[in-house]
Chains A and B, each alone.
Chain A
Amino acid sequence: DAKTTQPTSMDCAEGRAANLPCNHSTISGNEYVYWYRQIHSQGPQYIIHGLKNNETNEMASLIITEDRKSSTLILPHATLRDTAVYYCIVGTSGTYKYIFGTGTRLKVLA
């Protein structure tokens, strides 16, 4: 399965959009991009996933580049409650061993 690279940490002002990048240059054609977040002392929470097209749900938007080698998770109006570690992972529907790296620690500032 492809590996991902994310920045270690980011800050974002409350109310502004938070844009979290992820590189997955070795992604293969049948691998999805998944995003999760983990608020301190809780289990990770699923946010969104996509294959080729951009996706949006009530939590976030996912923008995947045309070559699929990178993606960006967008939290349109970040709140203090969005402070968390965000994980980008890739895998196929049949993948059992998703690799969670150390993610991006997002701090939303008042």
Chain B
Amino acid sequence: DVKVTQSSRYLVKRTGEKVFLECVQDMDHENMFWYRQDPGLGLRLIYFSYDVKMKEKGDIPEGYSVSREKKERFSLILESASTNQTSMYLCASRPGTLGLGYTFGSGTRLTVV
């Protein structure tokens, strides 16, 4: 069964900490994505990557950065965590092939205190 695995299901971090959220996919997908999900706002795209070492900003990149050193791994970095970054973070991957959909991970619920 193909999978997108997020390293943590729940995280609690302090304001100002540097936070790393890890995502690994085993499907050899070219494209990987980070979303955050907040009540009433749906899923919002933070960053995506269409190839190793390539990244593009999504709709809400401020306060975040990403790293994709290997095809299977896409990391989201909160440079200095703030309380307004408390959210559910979802990683997804997708092949580059025409028309195919996303596979999502189970999500990481991050609380910044």
The answer to whether A and B interact is yes
Which residues of A come within 8 Å of B, CB atoms? Answer: 32, 34, 36, 41-46, 49, 51, 93, 96-98, 100-103
A46 touching B40 in the complex, CB below 8 Å, given contacts A41-B107, A96-B48: no
Cross-chain pair count, CB within 8 angstroms: 51
Contacts of A100 in B (CB 8 A): 35, 42-43
Q: Does A44 lie within 8 Å of B59, measured CB to CB?
A: no
Total residues of chain B contacting the partner, CB 8 A: 28
Q: Which of B68-105 contact A (CB under 8 A)?
A: 90-92, 97-105
Q: How far is the CA of A49 from the CA of B100 in the complex (A)?
A: 8
Q: Contact partner of B31 among A41, A96, A103, CB < 8 A?
A: A96
Contacts of A103 in B (CB 8 A): 42
A44 touching B43 in the complex, CB below 8 Å, given contacts A36-B101, A96-B50: yes
A43 touching B98 in the complex, CB below 8 Å, given contacts A100-B42, A102-B40, A102-B42: no
B65 located at the interface, meaning its Cβ lies under 8 Å from any Cβ of chain A in the complex: no
Q: Does B103 lie within 8 Å of A42, measured CB to CB?
A: no
Q: Contact partner of B59 among A32, A34, A42, A97, CB < 8 A?
A: A97
Which chain B residue shows the least CB distance to A85? Answer: B42
Contacts of B103 in A (CB 8 A): 46
Majority SS of interface residues in chain A?
loop
Q: Does A46 lie within 8 Å of B101, measured CB to CB?
A: yes
Q: How far is the CA of A42 from the CA of B107 in the complex (A)?
A: 6
Closest CB in chain B relative to A95 CB, distance in Å: 10
Q: Does A34 lie within 8 Å of B104, measured CB to CB?
A: no
Closest CB in chain B relative to A12 CB, distance in Å: 22
B112 located at the interface, meaning its Cβ lies under 8 Å from any Cβ of chain A in the complex: no
